[in-house]
Chains A and B, each alone.
Chain A
Amino acid sequence: MTAFFQTLGMSYEWAWAIATISGILLIALPLMLGVAMIIYADRKIWAAMALRRGPNVVGPWGLLQSFADGLKVFLQETIIPSAANKGLFLIAPILTFTVALLAWAVIPFNSGAMLADINVGLLYVLAISSLGVYGVVIAGWASNSKYPFFSAMRAAAQMISYEVSIGFILICVVLWADSFNLKAIVEAQKSHVWLINGFVANPLLFPLWVMFLISSLAETARAPFDLTEAESELVAGYQTEYSSMSFALYWLGEYANVLLMCALNATLFWGGYLPPLDIPVLYLIPGWIWLLGKILFFFFIFSWVKATVPRYRYDQLMRLGWKVFLPMSLLFVVLVSGYLMLTRYGA
Chain B
Amino acid sequence: MIHTLAFYLFATLVIASGTFTILSRNPVHSVLWLIMAFFNAAGLMVLLGAEFIAMLLVIVYVGAVAVLFLFVVMMLDIDFAELRAGFIKNFPLGMLLAVVLLVELVVGVGVYRAGALQLGVADGAAASPMGLSNTEAIGALLYSRYLFLFEAAGIILLVAMIGAIVLTHRTRKDVRGQNISHQNQRRPEEATRNVKPEVGKGVQL
Contacts and interface: CB of A to CB of B under 8 A. Distances in A.
B52 A156 contact: no
A163 B63 contact: yes
Given A127-B63, A130-B64, A119 B134 contact: yes
A126 B59 CA distance: 7
Contacts of B68: 160
Contacts, number: 64
A101 interface: no
A130 B42 CA distance: 14
A118 interface: yes
Contacts of A137: 67, 70-71, 74
B144 to A, nearest CB: 14
Interface string B116-159: 00000000000000000111000000000000000000000000
Contacts of B11: none
B62 A138 contact: no
Contacts of B62: 127, 130-131
A141 interface: yes
Interface centre among A88, A119, A120, A134 (most CB of B within 10 A): A120
B55 A120 contact: yes
A120 B135 contact: yes
A304 interface: no
**Chain A interface extent, by class:** 20 to 34
Contacts of A141: 28, 74
B82 to A, nearest CB: 20
B67 A138 contact: no
B32 A138 contact: yes
Interface in A116-167: 118-120, 123-124, 126-127, 130-131, 133-134, 137-138, 141, 149, 152-153, 156-157, 160, 163
Contacts of B63: 126-127, 130-131, 133, 163
Interface string A284-327: 00000000000000000000000000000001000100000000
Interface string B55-91: 1101100111001101100110000000000000000
B35 interface: yes
**Nearest 7 A/B pairs, CB to CB:** A130-B63, A123-B55, A127-B58, A119-B133, A127-B59, A141-B74, A120-B51
Interface of B: 2, 28, 32, 35, 51-52, 55-56, 58-59, 62-64, 67-68, 70-71, 74-75, 133-135, 178, 180
Interface of A: 13, 88, 118-120, 123-124, 126-127, 130-131, 133-134, 137-138, 141, 149, 152-153, 156-157, 160, 163, 180, 315, 319
27 contacts: A13-B2, A119-B51, A119-B133, A120-B51, A120-B52, A120-B134, A123-B52, A123-B55, A123-B59, A126-B55, A126-B63, A127-B58, A130-B63, A131-B62, A134-B67, A137-B67, A137-B70, A137-B74, A141-B28, A149-B74, A152-B74, A153-B71, A153-B74, A156-B67, A160-B64, A163-B64, A315-B178
